[in-house]
Amino acid sequence: MHEILTYAWFGLICLMLAFYVITDGFDLGVGILSLFSREETERDQMFLSIGHVWDANETWLVVLGGALFGAFPLAYATLMEQLYVPVMVLIASLIMRGGAIEFRHAATTSRRGWDLVFGIGSLSAAGCQGVILGEVITGLAPGLVPAGFAAISAVGVIAGYALLGSTYLIKKAHGELVTASRRHALISLLLSFGAAAVLTAGTMLYSDIGHGRWMQPGVFPLLLALALLAAFAGAYVVYALHIGSERGPFRGAIGLFLASFAGLGVSLFPDLVPGKLSLAQAASDSATMAFMLCGIAVVFPVMIGYNLYQYHVFRGRVQLEH
């Protein structure tokens, strides 16, 4: 029973993380892309496109932290101790974004200062998440090679979020911003695949733990299938951009993220921190996980339903104020 609960919570946490990465990923990506926009009218469109959904998107991060704390407290303690600096910078960056979004509307003169705060906060938040991901994959190992791995991971996350943000703007924005977003989407896609290729090669060559996990029976064929799905999703993004599709690029980007995220879950299982902490070692007792499961059974459908409802209500392209 304890093993079933442990695996169930690992799956739920992976699902929450996937929801967060996709939903908050595109509005972080919009923030990153705002740094490259010189026209205030274009930045107005960017803010309008995420203004009604960004705060609900970040709710998944709060729930994810609570779930990790309750279901795997040892993993939570280990990660917070070892990753204190990037986690605190991440939180500060998210606060910067929230403040910029709210105070920008009250600006009576130039809004450029708040736009910069929003863009820098988005870039910093994405980079910190990439560093955290790289540190977890390398098992929190010290040294130059793990540091380089984390840096490339940060570049990959930034590029991936920019891909989500640009494809989201393709279906939400107007005019020249749509044209620029198509160009940004292609560049972001190439950077994402480049970072993924470097990280894959680095795992095979320099990570004994990662290489050992991939060579276990049945793991490598599954990862190869997921890699092919990711490649297909990337090709679909290119095709959708080429034919001028409005929604196709965003759907392809989501497919690319889901396939990549599934590969990450397969690579980590049955560990939470490779080589340091397994699921069995980090898990709470059965009573705690069962009690939390009852709570999440109520909260989870409500959160998913609310997210779907808000996207339905605010569907379509943004309406510009004249």
Look up residue 31 and give its two tokens.
Answer: 């923030």
Q: Are the CB atoms for 30 and 181 separated by under 8 Å?
A: no
Confidence at residue 322, expressed as pLDDT on a 0 to 100 scale: 47
d(CA 282, CA 6): 9
Q: Are the CB atoms for 177 and 45 separated by under 8 Å?
A: yes
DSSP state of 143: S
How far, in Å, are 21, 58, 125, 250, 301 from residue 16 at the CA level? 9, 11, 18, 20, 12
Query: Is 222 a domain residue?
Result: no
Residue 85 structural domain: 2-205+283-313
Query: Is 322 a domain residue?
Result: no
Query: Is 304 a domain residue?
Result: yes
3-state DSSP helix/strand/coil % of the chain, to nearest 5: 80, 0, 15
Q: Which residues of the chain have pLDDT under 50?
A: 322
Confidence at residue 236, expressed as pLDDT on a 0 to 100 scale: 92
Query: Is 244 a domain residue?
Result: no
Q: Are the CB atoms for 166 and 181 separated by under 8 Å?
A: yes
Query: Is 270 a domain residue?
Result: no
Query: Is 256 a domain residue?
Result: no
Confidence at residue 89, expressed as pLDDT on a 0 to 100 scale: 93
Query: Is 156 a domain residue?
Result: yes
d(CA 37, CA 137): 34
Query: Is 233 a domain residue?
Result: no
Q: Domain count of the chain?
A: 1
Which residues, at least 6 apart from 275, have a Cβ–Cβ distance to it below 8 Å? 139, 141, 209
